[in-house]
Amino acid sequence: MKRGVYPGTFDPITYGHLDIIKRALDIFDELIVAIGENPAKNTLFSAEERFNIVREAIEDYPNTKVMMMEGLLAHFADEVQASAIIRGLRALSDFEHEFQMALANRKMNPRTETIFLMPNEKYSYLNSTMVKTIASMGGKVTSFVPKSVEKALKEKYKSKSSKNE
Which residues of the chain form contacts with ligand ADP (CB under 6 A)? 8-10, 14, 16-17, 20, 36, 87-88, 90, 94, 119, 123, 126-128
Catalytic status, residue 90: yes
Q: Which of 50, 87, 128, 132 is catalytic?
A: 128
What gap in Å lies between CA 20 and CA 6, rounded to an integer?
9
Of the pair 8, 30, the CB lying nearest ligand ADP is at: 8
Of the pair 41, 163, the CB lying nearest ligand ADP is at: 41
Of the pair 103, 161, the CB lying nearest ligand ADP is at: 103
Catalytic status, residue 75: no
Q: Which of 41, 107, 140, 163 is catalytic?
A: 41
Cβ–Cβ < 8 Å for 105, 73: yes
Per-residue burial over 57-72, b if 16 or more Cβ lie within 10 Å, else e, is: bbeeeeebebbebeee
Q: Which of 50, 87, 90, 132 is catalytic?
A: 90
User: Which runs of consecutive H residues, i.e. helices, occur in the chain?
Assistant: 15-27, 47-57, 73-79, 92-108, 128-136, 147-164
What gap in Å lies between CA 16 and CA 41, rounded to an integer?
20
Q: Which residue type, as a one-letter code, is found at position 156?
A: K
Catalytic status, residue 162: no
Of the pair 51, 123, the CB lying nearest ligand ADP is at: 123
Catalytic status, residue 163: no
Cβ–Cβ < 8 Å for 27, 113: no
Q: Which of 17, 50, 87, 132 is catalytic?
A: 17
Catalytic sites, residue numbers: 17, 41, 90, 128
